[in-house]
């Protein structure tokens, strides 16, 4: 009898834990050192799809890369960061104009956070009525925050005409955004705003410039598998061949 009761209790808690995980709207996972991956979710083609962003905790405050896709999670992300690290977000950079990257820009600017995109992203955001940043980058740029530094790089058109990646040289972290797909991806995802002919060249530019990254962060798939860039290049080659 006691064994049966114990088994039922275990099943209840296991099922409850799985249900809570499935219903999460915001997840935060440690990457390495002071780097963290945050994940929000939205519906895409009838299924719940994750959107990964990243943040870096520095002595003065937090640097945020992209904004939540779920618009209900703009403030909960800030609150979670404050509770976990006792620091405020100071800076936010979006890596292309789609809403899974830019939706929270204007909200964060209103909270006193400095928001940035490239000038090219701003052109597209204005054209497509997407949210816009208050500050613009006009060329590949290196930013410094305390002991950390990172650079933005525009490798060419791919997922969108304006997609950039971010590179942390010391830590060898490549933040690929939506340009790089997961290592198990069957295709390059949404290409309605993409350039199927240039995609492979753009990815090869990234591979050539940033050799042997320790971590490659992708937007909508498992970011723990570092074969994502190589796999994306193969997918882009196949796509180009099919289009030729």
Q: Which CATH number does the domain housing residue 151 bear? A: 3.60.15.10
Greatest extent of the chain over all pairs of C-alpha atoms, in Å: 71
Strand order, beta sheet including 135-137:
26-32, 35-44, 47-57, 62-65, 89-93, 114-118, 135-137
Structural domain containing residue 206:
26-243
Handedness of CA 83, 35, 166, 234 (dihedral sign): negative
- In a domain, residue 207? The reply is yes
For residue 30, being part of any structural domain is answered with yes
- Confidence (pLDDT) at 116: 98
Which residues, listed in sequence order, are joined to residue 177 by a DSSP beta bridge?
A: 218
Q: Is residue 137 part of a domain?
A: yes
Residue 14 lies in a domain: no
127 membership: H or E segment, kind and range: helix 119-128
191 occurs within a structural domain:
yes
Predicted pLDDT of residue 201: 98
Task: Provide the pLDDT for residue 17.
Answer: 36
Which residue ranges in the chain fall short of pLDDT 70?
A: 1-23
Instruction: Specify the pLDDT at position 115.
Output: 98
Q: Which pLDDT belongs to residue 242?
A: 83
- Residue 12 and residue 9: Cα distance in Å, rounded? 5
In angstroms, the CA 58 to CA 210 distance is 24
pTM score above 0.75: yes
Nearest in space to 31 (alpha carbons), one of 230, 229, 223: 223
In a domain, 16, yes or no: no
Q: In this structure, is residue 8 part of a structural domain?
A: no
Residue 92 lies in a domain: yes
Domain count, the chain: 1
């Amino acid at each position: 009898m006691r064994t049966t009761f114990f088994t039922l209790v275990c099943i209840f808690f296991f099922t409850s834990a799985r249900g809570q995980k499935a219903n999460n709207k915001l997840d935060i996972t440690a990457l390495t050192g002071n780097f963290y991956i945050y994940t929000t979710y939205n519906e895409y083609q009838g299924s719940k799809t994750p959107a990964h962003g990243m943040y870096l905790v520095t002595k003065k405050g937090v640097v945020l890369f992209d904004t939540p896709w779920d618009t209900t999670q703009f403030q909960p992300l800030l609150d979670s960061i404050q509770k976990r690290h006792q620091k405020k977000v100071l800076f936010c950079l979006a890596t292309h104009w789609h809403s899974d990257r830019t939706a929270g820009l204007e909200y964060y600017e209103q909270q006193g956070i400095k928001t940035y995109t490239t000038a090219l992203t701003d052109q597209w955001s204005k054209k497509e009525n997407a949210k816009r940043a208050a500050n613009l980058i006009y060329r590949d740029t290196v930013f410094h925050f305390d002991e950390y530094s990172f650079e933005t790089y525009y490798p060419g058109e791919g997922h969108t005409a304006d997609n950039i990646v971010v590179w942390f040289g010391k830590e060898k972290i490549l933040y690929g955004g939506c340009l790089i797909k997961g290592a198990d991806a069957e295709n390059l995802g949404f290409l309605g705003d993409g350039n199927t002919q240039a995609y492979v060249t753009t990815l090869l530019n990234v591979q050539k410039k940033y050799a042997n990254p320790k971590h490659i962060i992708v937007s909508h798939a498992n970011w723990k598998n570092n074969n994502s860039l190589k796999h994306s290049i193969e997918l882009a080659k196949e796509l180009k061949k099919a289009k030729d």
